[in-house]
């Protein structure tokens, strides 16, 4: 009759220790990264709150919920709105006005803007800063983007993206020189009088196509000559009637005097 082997008393303890070691090793490979990211995010929010309090609270309130007749609430605008407004120099404004002027001086570094955006994002869910792949116009379809732009954007920005006047002292700014990221963020957040084009209206690929069209317009230049501001047929017709017709009348008068 074969002899039954008995398990050593220390075998169970050894197996438990081995299991704990494997579990601990697997956890240590993942948990520290999550913990580090969490600490970094918390630090960014804290730094952003300090910057916000020092530079933005006068208009938007200490809690970011706005000040009557001064600055709107920022709850729900998201980090994308902060990145657009501050990254294009529109904010902080020197004084309240009907519209934040485009092309102002950027007063904060990218890191500081990111920190303020991280804080504002805690006030309410809103659009985040888009990934670089979504703002790369070289990966978009300018043909499709042109069709989308002419239907949704050209009535304010003109078909060439040259901008145009709106009501009550506002305007749609020219798009030349705008980065793909800021164009995407503008569509996501709807700054000033611009409507919001969220993913339900224009999906991320469609937004990238619009960026591709705007960049293609800038690269094409003006092969037809002087663009006259790029505002379309109105200034072109005015030029033809005033300058062109004036030259013809002057030439006709000169011929009449010469033949007399």
| Full DSSP string of the chain | -PPPPPPPTHHHHHHHHHHHHHHHHHHHHHHHHHHHHHHHHHHHHHHHHHHHHHHTHHHH-TTSS-BTTTB---TTTHHHHHHHHHHTT--S-SS--SSPPTTPPP-S-HHHHHHHHHHHHTTS--PPPPPGGGG-GGGS-HHHHHHHHHHHTHHHH-TTS--EE-STT-EEPP-TT--HHHHHHHHHH--TTPPP--TTTS-HHHHHHHHHHHHHHHHH--TTS--GGG--HHHHHHHIIIIIHHHHHHHHHHHHHHH-
Q: Please state the domain extents for the chain.
A: 41-128, 130-241
Q: Which CATH architecture has domain 130-241?
A: Orthogonal Bundle (1.10)
What pLDDT is attached to residue 228?
58
What pLDDT is attached to residue 160?
83
What pLDDT is attached to residue 226?
62
What pLDDT is attached to residue 8?
58
What pLDDT is attached to residue 9?
60
What pLDDT is attached to residue 252?
84
What pLDDT is attached to residue 34?
53
What pLDDT is attached to residue 37?
55
Domain 41-128 class in CATH: mainly alpha
Q: What is the full per-residue pLDDT of the chain (260 aa) written as tens digits?
A: 555 455 556 666 666 676 666 666 655 555 554 545 566 689 999 999 999 999 999 999 999 998 887 889 999 999 999 999 999 999 998 877 888 887 778 999 999 999 999 999 999 999 999 999 999 999 999 999 999 999 999 999 988 888 888 888 899 999 988 999 999 999 999 998 899 999 999 999 999 999 999 999 888 766 656 665 555 566 667 767 788 788 888 888 888 887 76
> Same CATH fold, 130-241 and 41-128?
yes
């Amino acid at each position: 009759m074969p002899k039954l082997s008995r398990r050593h008393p220390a075998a169970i303890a050894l197996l438990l220790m081995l299991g704990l070691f494997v579990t601990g090793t697997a956890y240590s490979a993942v948990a520290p990264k999550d913990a580090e990211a969490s600490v970094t995010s918390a630090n960014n929010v804290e730094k952003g709150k300090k910057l916000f309090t020092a530079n933005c609270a006068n208009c938007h309130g200490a809690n970011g919920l706005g000040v009557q007749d001064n600055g709107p609430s920022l709850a729900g605008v998201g980090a994308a709105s902060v990145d657009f407004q501050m990254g294009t120099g529109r904010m902080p404004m020197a004084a309240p006005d009907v519209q934040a002027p485009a092309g102002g001086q950027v007063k904060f570094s990218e890191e500081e803007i990111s920190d303020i955006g991280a804080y504002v994002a805690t006030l309410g869910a809103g659009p985040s800063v888009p990934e670089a792949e979504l703002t790369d116009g070289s990966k978009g379809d300018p043909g499709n983007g042109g069709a989308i732009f002419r239907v949704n954007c050209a009535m304010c920005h003109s078909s060439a993206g040259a901008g145009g006047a709106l009501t009550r002292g506002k305007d749609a700014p020219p798009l030349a020189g705008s980065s793909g990221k800021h164009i995407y963020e503008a569509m996501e957040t709807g700054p000033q009088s611009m409507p919001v084009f969220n993913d339900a209206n224009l999906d991320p690929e469609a937004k990238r196509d619009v960026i591709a069209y705007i960049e293609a317009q800038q690269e094409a230049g003006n092969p037809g000559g002087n663009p006259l501001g790029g505002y379309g047929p109105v200034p072109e017709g005015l030029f033809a009637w005033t300058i062109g017709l004036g030259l013809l009348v002057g030439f006709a008068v000169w011929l009449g005097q010469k033949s007399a």
